[in-house]
Structure formats: C-alpha cells, structure tokens
Amino acid sequence: MARTKARLLPPAEPAPKMEAAGSAASLSAARPRHGLLALEIKGLFSERALNTVQEAPPALPQHPKGLPGFPCRSAPQKRQPRCLQPLTKPHNCHSTFVGKTSLIRTLFTSSPAAGKSTFVRLLEKHSDEWEIIPEPIAKWCNIQTAEDEYAELSTSQKSGGNLLQMLYDKPTRWAYTFQTYACLSRVRAQLKPVSAKLHEAEHPVQFFERSVYSDRYVFASNLFESGNINETEWAIYQDWHTWLLNQFESDIELDGMIYLRTTPQKCMERLQMRGREEEQEIELEYLENLHYKHETWLHERTMRVDFENLKEIPILVLDVNEDFKNDKIKQEYLIDKVKSFLTS
C-alpha cells in the first residue's frame, strides 16, 4: 500500500485560523493509518480483512486480576446491519444484497451432555431456512484429518492427534493448546460464506453450536480458575482473543443466544449413557463448574463480559432437564419457543 509523505514547507504569511484547521485536517487525512497485524494461519484471514486498514485501538483498562498490559474490554463500535451477500463474494455485513432478508445468527450453548445433539437434529428437521453449524468435534479428535470435521470418529480413526483426549488426560499440559485450537476452529466456522440454501431463504437463520464467546467465558475461564492454564497463558489467550474478535467483530457478531439449561447431575447421567471415550474420566465437579459459568453468564447475567455487543444481547433460556428426545409435545414446545424468540 502506497504511503503518503507530508512535505514541510517554508514559513509563509500567517493564515486565518479556519484555513490552518483545514490544512491540519488535510495532513491528518494524508497520514497513513495503523495497519493490520498479520496472523499467519492459513485460511483464517479473508482477502477483505487483509486489505482493510483499521484505526489504532484506544487505550484499554487493565485486567481485574492486575495482569500488566492486558486489555479487558473491547472498544465499542457502531453495530451494522447484517445482510446476505451474492454467492460469489464472502459474507460481509457492511454492504447490501437487494431483495434478501437479513440473516439472523444465533448461538446455542450448554454444559456437556445437556442435549445439544438432540436439539440440533430437532432444528435441522424443522425448517430448510435454518442452518446448523456444529462443533468440529472430529477435527479436535484428529487434527490431521481432512474428512468431515463435524462427524464422530471411531477409535481407529483418531490416530492423527486426539487433542480432546490429550486435554482430558493431561489438562495442565494441553489446556492452553486445546483452547487455542478450539477458538481458531470456531472463528473459521463463523467466517465461512453463507450457504447456497440460505441465499434462497426468505427468513434465513444460522445456529452455531457454541462460539468463540463460549470458549472464553466458560471453558477457557474454567481451566484458568482450576489451575490448568497459568496466569501467563491466560493473559496471552485473552490478549489475542480480544484482538482477533475486534478485527472480525461485524462478521462473527451474534444476534441472540439460546441456553439449554440442565443440572450438572442430569448432564453426568446423559454423559455416561452416550459413552464418548474421551469423556469417561470427567467428574461431576467439572460439570458443576461449567454449569456455574453458564448460569452467571446467560441466566443470571451477572458475569462481567468484555465485549459491548454481549451486554444487551437477547438470550432465550430453555429448560431441557427433562428428556425430550422422544417427547413430541416437548419438542414442539421448544421449537415454538425458538420461533417466537427469532421473531421477537
């Protein structure tokens, strides 16, 4: 990118104040702005992001734990309407797509084994205008796989680095690594272009199974408080997490959240029933800690969050403590709640 060089001229006759102000404004406009830092992760940054210059962020307050030089709140930005784009272009909410309805992007989250998989199937069957972006569990269980990153893998398929198993086996060693990779995979998912079927939908909705915010405020935070992520790692994690989300805020920002609320005891019961190999050593205390995080963040709304768009975001709380897998009446009730939430 060409840089404009301001040339200093010899002193001239004094100019009126209004002209001096205009001259200063011209020099200010010519001055090159703060450039984007490059994060060398293949496929993460779109061409648009790399070619867009950003204003230098303002000074941010210190972390409440007193970690030096660590920003804890993102700069407030004016929210732009999110619109569907032509299929030949990446998703970009700063421009318009004439004739199409705005896309609604919603997170649904819960503690492990709360019933998310059943809820996903319920959403998928209800409407062709709804698209579900699940967690890339297969990628976490085999980071070298090139297959479907959302499908469950057999034991024999998990030979390319089962990072999820490594986390559960040695959390102190692998917690930071796993949370870094999990966040990266979620950013990738939320930056993917809108699918063809949503471009044809009158009322398109995307549902994300957890998100970059779930990673930080529930799982990574819990690992830090339990001592599996140390203070240095936690400071680094929050630093790049805040910076990364600020760069892509308009592209990953959510319109609402759905919290599947279940007791830790019920989660433990369902976890043991589904028999996922990596989860067999999970203790009730771990589920209780995650439940507490979800409750303070999404139910009581007393958790301190660092992003302005999360402070007033609409949240739907669904009680799924009772089994709804084979209960048609309960399923209809949940779907009606979601539909009302999306149209309110």
Q: Which residues participate in catalysis according to the annotation?
A: 209
Q: Beta strand pairing status for 256-261 and 315-319? A: parallel
Sequence-distant (6+) residues with CB within 8 A of 34 are 53, 54, 55, 56
d(CA 334, CA 93): 30
d(CA 97, CA 93): 9
Query: Burial, 232: exposed, middle or buried (Cβ in 10 Å; 0-12, 13-18, 19+)?
Result: exposed
Q: What are phi and psi of 248, to 5 degrees?
A: -115, 25
Residue 6 one-letter amino acid: A
Residue whose C-alpha is closest to residue 46's, from 187, 185, 150, 196:
187
Residue whose C-alpha is closest to residue 135's, from 291, 5, 276, 30:
276
